[in-house]
Amino acid sequence: MRTRPWKRSLTITAAIAAAATVFAGAAPASAETVWPPGPGKICGVGQVVAGGGVSVCWEPDGEHIYVCDLYPDGHHVYAVFGQAGRPDVWIRNYAGYDSCEHRNLDLPEGTRISMQGCVAEGTKTLSCTETKYLTA
């Protein structure tokens, strides 16, 4: 039996769409935007970097940083926080999906900082967001 060209094209298109959905890794539908972030929440005000399952949130009033795991993928997330003349600080969140790790930092007003969020499996980094530069 011969397959009609339009049926073959429809099957290929459906397969590509299904693969794109799997690899896109959309954020969970239950997440809402709030401040401060918490389980099931994506930070709104103060959000610095997000992507690939990690959200790193910065609140300059009080120097709060939140590192949130947005995907139920079994990976952990971390943030690399830097300031000029000092070693980078790594803030890791091993609690898993739907959790945030919080740090309250003490920085002088006007301090230049950098932040980046990453997703890892064990000791291997899988992906990172772009680095953002801000002033405390």
Domain spans of the chain, in order of start: 29-135
Instruction: Give the fold, CATH level 3, of 29-135.
Output: Immunoglobulin-like (2.60.40)
Please state the pTM of the whole predicted model. 0.68
How far, in Å, CA of 103 to CA of 58, rounded? 10
The answer to whether the beta carbons of residues 41 and 70 sit under 8 Å apart is no
Write the burial class of residue 9 (CB in 10 Å: 0-12 exposed, 13-18 middle, 19+ buried).
exposed
Q: What is the pLDDT of residue 86?
A: 87
The answer to whether the beta carbons of residues 40 and 98 sit under 8 Å apart is yes
Give the pLDDT band (50/70/90) at residue 72: very high
Residue range 84-122, pLDDT digits in tens: 888 899 999 999 998 889 999 888 888 888 999 999 999
Structure token digits, residue 101: 């790790």
How far, in Å, CA of 54 to CA of 61, rounded? 22
Residue range 18-31, pLDDT digits in tens: 333 333 333 343 44
Give the pLDDT band (50/70/90) at residue 40: low
